[in-house]
Homo-oligomer: A and B are copies of this chain.
Amino acid sequence: MAKIAIMGYGTVGAGVFKTLTMNREAIARRTGEEIEIKYVLDLREFPGDPAEEVLTHEFTDILNDPEVSVVVETMGGLKPAYMFTKELLAAGKNVCTSNKELVAEHGVELREVAREHSVNYLFEASCGGGIPIIRVLNTSLTAEEIEEVTGILNGTTNYILTSMADEGKEFATALKEAQEKGYAELHPEADVEGWDACRKIAILSSLGYGRHISYKDVPTEGITHVDKTDIEYAKALGCRIKLLATSRRDDNGTWALVAPMMIGRENPLTAVDGVMNAVMVKGNAVGTTMYYGSGAGSLPTASAVVGDIIDCVKHRRTTIRTDYSAEPLMLIPVDEVTRPFFVRMRGDEGAARAAFGEISSVTRLPGKEDEFGFLTAMMPEKEFKALLAGTDQVISWYRRGKNEEAEEA
* Chain A residues close to B by CB (< 8 Å): 15, 19-20, 22-23, 26-27, 29-32, 124, 130-132, 135-136, 139-145, 210, 268, 271, 278, 283-294, 297, 299-300, 302-307, 309-311, 314, 321, 323
Contacts of A305 in B (CB 8 A): 143
Q: How many chain copies?
A: 2
> A29-B210, A303-B144 are contacts. A23–B285 as well, Cβ < 8 Å?
yes
A323 to chain B minimum Cβ distance, whole angstroms, is 4
A302 to chain B minimum Cβ distance, whole angstroms, is 6
Contacts of A22 in B (CB 8 A): 145, 284-285
- Are the C-beta atoms of B294 and A291 separated by less than 8 Å? no
- Are the C-beta atoms of A286 and B294 separated by less than 8 Å? yes
- Are the C-beta atoms of B288 and A294 separated by less than 8 Å? yes
- Docked Cα-Cα span, A141 to B141, in Å, equals 17
Greatest chain B CB density within 10 A among A30, A140, A210, A292 is at A140
- Contact partner of A142 (CB less than 8 A), chosen from B131, B302, B310, is B310
- Are the C-beta atoms of A31 and B142 separated by less than 8 Å? yes
Q: 20 A-B pairs, CB-CB below 8 angstroms?
A: A15-B285, A22-B285, A26-B210, A30-B323, A130-B285, A130-B287, A132-B289, A135-B135, A139-B311, A142-B306, A142-B310, A143-B302, A143-B304, A143-B310, A278-B290, A286-B293, A286-B304, A288-B292, A289-B292, A290-B293
- Contact partner of A321 (CB less than 8 A), chosen from B32, B135, B139, B287, is B32
- Are the C-beta atoms of B294 and A144 separated by less than 8 Å? no
- Are the C-beta atoms of A143 and B293 separated by less than 8 Å? no
- Are the C-beta atoms of A287 and B307 separated by less than 8 Å? no
A37 to chain B minimum Cβ distance, whole angstroms, is 14
- Are the C-beta atoms of B284 and A23 separated by less than 8 Å? yes
Find the B residue at minimum CB distance from A270: B271
- Are the C-beta atoms of B287 and A143 separated by less than 8 Å? no
- Docked Cα-Cα span, A26 to B305, in Å, equals 28
- Are the C-beta atoms of A23 and B294 separated by less than 8 Å? no
Contacts of A26 in B (CB 8 A): 144-145, 210, 323
- Docked Cα-Cα span, A124 to B304, in Å, equals 21
Find the B residue at minimum CB distance from A130: B286
